[in-house]
């Protein structure tokens, strides 16, 4: 990667880091990235509202290949002292999406300057953290007849700057479940005159271990109770409304659906016994992310050609990634660049994206565009 380009995109990364925005509110971030590409490249830019893509036209008879980077931040206070510290209260880039976006911008600079035989699409995506982004951006794949798509994620617990690949399922499917229960309030001294949802919530929770048991599933299935919201600090009232919030996830998407249906069935049965009304809502829906073998093979080959250390990972990540919406539609793969085996994990207060990874990511993207 050219030194001038690398310096530009490292500075861009720091600017993005200073102005983090949460999912679906990345207005400054999107506009700043567009301004950067307009200033330093001649690429065609297509603004889609909350997200955008840039386009380089090579040989029209060749494949259309897309590269994706996310650019949303998370709701965490920046607690480490760095020169590019977040200026926005309670929001920070603790997942490294600032680095992902800067890497894709750096790749765009290089392609614009050096050219390519391929038709290359640079997809800058919003709202990965909530699963909303890719779900909307898939329209771009259809409209432009994209043949394959790639992305990378920085990841701790892996040797620094290594390329790490996964065949098949790379990330679990997951979703948030909200179970809303409505009964009847009463005086705390006469609970029999009301319908308190607390007992129904407890019965649902108590049946979860059986549903997620290894003997009842072919892959790993998890259900995490994230909130039980019933009543308030009012000791004279037996509450009549409540919510149970769960995060469910599984290695195989069909088992996620099975788990959700079983939880709904239990909730409906227990609610009927108690005289409660029950409603269900989904949040943060992520499909399983499945890498296509031929695309993982290409990433592996590029890493080896460039003499990068390439590691094959044996297990998928439990954490979800909305890149799965793309690989459901077309061929593609996501790979991982190591932050270091003892480097702070993403989504922790000590974490900051490592600028050195940018050049490694750009070189991988360039190789994938050429192969």
Domain at 220, CATH number: 3.30.70.360
* Domain co-membership, 250 together with 323: no
Per-residue confidence band for 125, with pLDDT thresholds at 50, 70 and 90: very high
* Domain co-membership, 222 together with 357: no
Per-residue confidence band for 364, with pLDDT thresholds at 50, 70 and 90: very high
Cα(320)–Cα(288) distance, rounded to whole angstroms?
A: 7
Identify which of 256, 95, 247, 245 has the alpha carbon closest to the alpha carbon of residue 173. 256
pLDDT tens-place string over residues 73-85: 999 999 999 999 9
Q: What is the pLDDT of residue 275?
A: 97
pLDDT tens-place string over residues 23-38: 999 999 999 999 999 9
Give per-residue burial for 80-115: e unless 16+ CB within 10 Å, then b.
eeeebebeeeebbbbbbbbbbbbbbbbbbbbbbeee
The sheet carrying 173-182 orders its strands as: 221-230, 241-250, 173-182, 277-286
Cα(32)–Cα(267) distance, rounded to whole angstroms?
A: 47
Query: 61 pLDDT exceeds 90?
Result: no
Q: What is the pLDDT of residue 62?
A: 81
Per-residue pLDDT, averaged over 270-293, amounts to 98
Q: What is the pLDDT of residue 222?
A: 98
pLDDT tens-place string over residues 141-194: 999 999 999 999 999 999 999 999 999 999 999 999 999 999 999 999 999 999
* Domain co-membership, 262 together with 295: no
Q: What is the pLDDT of residue 60?
A: 77
Q: DSSP strand E in the chain: where?
A: 44-47, 52-56, 64-70, 119-125, 148-156, 163-165, 168-171, 173-182, 186-187, 221-230, 237-238, 241-250, 277-286, 289-291, 310-312, 331-340
* Domain co-membership, 208 together with 122: no
Q: What is the pLDDT of residue 59?
A: 82
Q: What is the pTM of this model?
A: 0.95
Classify 302 as helix, strand or coil: helix
Query: 195 pLDDT exceeds 90?
Result: yes
Q: Which of 285, 311, 334 is the last residue of a domain?
A: 285
Q: How many helices (H) and strands (E) does the chain have?
A: 9, 16
Q: What is the pLDDT of residue 313?
A: 98
* Domain co-membership, 132 together with 177: no
Cα(54)–Cα(76) distance, rounded to whole angstroms?
A: 30
Q: Which of 263, 285, 307 is the last residue of a domain?
A: 285
Per-residue pLDDT, averaged over 44-60, amounts to 95
How many domains would you assign to the chain?
Answer: 2
pLDDT tens-place string over residues 316-362: 999 999 999 999 999 999 999 999 999 999 999 999 999 999 999 99
Which structural domain range is residue 281 located in?
Answer: 173-285
User: What percent helix, strand, coil does the chain show, rounded to 5?
Assistant: 35, 30, 35
């Amino acid at each position: 990667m050219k030194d001038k380009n690398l310096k530009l995109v490292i500075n861009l990364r720091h600017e993005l880091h200073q102005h983090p925005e949460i999912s679906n509110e990345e207005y400054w971030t999107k506009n700043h990235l567009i301004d950067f590409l307009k200033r330093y490249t001649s690429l065609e830019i297509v603004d889609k509202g909350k997200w955008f893509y840039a386009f380089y036209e090579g040989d029209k008879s060749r494949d259309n290949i897309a590269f994706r980077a996310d650019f949303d931040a998370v709701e965490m206070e920046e607690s480490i002292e760095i020169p590019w510290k977040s200026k926005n209260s309670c929001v920070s880039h603790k997942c490294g999406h600032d680095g992902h976006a800067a890497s894709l911008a750096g790749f765009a600079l290089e392609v614009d300057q050096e050219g390519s035989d391929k038709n290359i699409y640079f997809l800058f995506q919003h709202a990965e953290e909530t699963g909303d982004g890719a779900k909307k951006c898939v329209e771009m794949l259809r409209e432009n007849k994209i043949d394959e798509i790639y992305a990378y994620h920085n990841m701790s617990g892996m040797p620094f700057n290594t390329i790490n690949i996964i065949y098949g399922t790379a990330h679990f499917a997951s979703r948030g479940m909200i179970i809303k229960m409505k009964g009847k309030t009463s005086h705390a001294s006469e609970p029999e005159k009301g319908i308190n949802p607390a007992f129904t919530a407890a019965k649902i929770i108590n049946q979860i271990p059986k549903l997620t048991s290894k003997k009842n599933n072919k892959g790993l299935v998890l259900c995490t109770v994230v909130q039980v919201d019933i009543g308030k600090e009012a000791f004279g009232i037996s509450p009549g409304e409540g919510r149970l919030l769960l995060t469910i996830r599984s290695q195989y998407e069909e088992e996620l659906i099975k788990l959700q249906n079983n939880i709904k069935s239990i909730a409906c049965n227990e609610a009927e016994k108690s005289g409660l009304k029950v409603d269900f809502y989904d949040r943060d829906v992520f499909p399983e992310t499945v890498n296509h073998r031929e695309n993982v093979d290409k990433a592996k080959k590029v890493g080896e050609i460039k003499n990068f250390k390439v590691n094959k990972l044996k297990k998928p990540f439990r954490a979800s990634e909305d890149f799965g919406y793309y690989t459901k539609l077309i061929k593609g793969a996501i790979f991982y660049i190591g932050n270091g085996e003892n480097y702070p994990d993403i989504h922790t207060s000590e974490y900051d994206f490592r600028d050195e990874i940018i050049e490694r990511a750009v070189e991988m993207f360039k190789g994938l565009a050429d192969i």
